[in-house]
């Protein structure tokens, strides 16, 4: 059932956050260090283990795949929001650095999209 996949994902999230806070305490940092990364590693290892032991069925796997595909974009959006908030409170230098990096990224899209693509004139010969 899909609910078992969601339950596994929730367990991995909680375990990852716990490990992240423990690592933060160990390094004397007030916060979570790598909790999301730990959660994804635990999820991958747990899912592979359950699949090898044939303890997880296709609907549960579909639940894991669905929520894990939703999980990363949400985390990235949350991190981006906090980075923007930190940049705005950090002053104009941080905002300027962010704007320059964003503009450079937009300008490099055409250049990077041509890498690895065969030349259309050579391909037609």
For residues 63 and 67, give the distance between their C-alpha atoms in angstroms, rounded to a whole number: 6
Residue 118: the pLDDT is 66
Residue 81: the pLDDT is 63
Residue 40: the pLDDT is 81
36 contacts: CB under 8 Å, gap ≥ 6: 16, 20, 75
* Longest Cα separation, the chain: 64
Residue 107: the pLDDT is 92
Contact (CB, 8 A) for 45 and 39: no
pLDDT tens track, the chain, 125 positions: 567 777 887 888 899 889 988 998 998 877 788 887 888 888 888 888 888 888 888 777 777 777 767 766 766 666 666 666 666 676 777 778 778 988 998 998 888 888 866 665 555 55
Residue 114: the pLDDT is 81
């Amino acid at each position: 059932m899909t609910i078992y996949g969601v339950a596994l994902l929730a367990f991995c999230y909680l375990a990852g956050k716990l490990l992240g806070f423990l690592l933060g305490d160990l390094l004397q940092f007030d916060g979570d260090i790598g909790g999301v990364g730990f959660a994804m590693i635990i999820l991958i290892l747990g899912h592979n283990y359950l699949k090898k032991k044939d303890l997880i069925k296709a609907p549960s796997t579909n639940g894991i795949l669905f929520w894990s595909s939703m999980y990363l974009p949400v985390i990235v959006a949350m991190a981006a929001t906090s980075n923007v908030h930190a940049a705005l409170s950090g002053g104009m230098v941080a905002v300027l650095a962010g704007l320059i990096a964003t503009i450079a990224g937009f300008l490099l899209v055409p250049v990077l999209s041509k890498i690895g693509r065969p030349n259309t004139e050579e391909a037609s010969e």
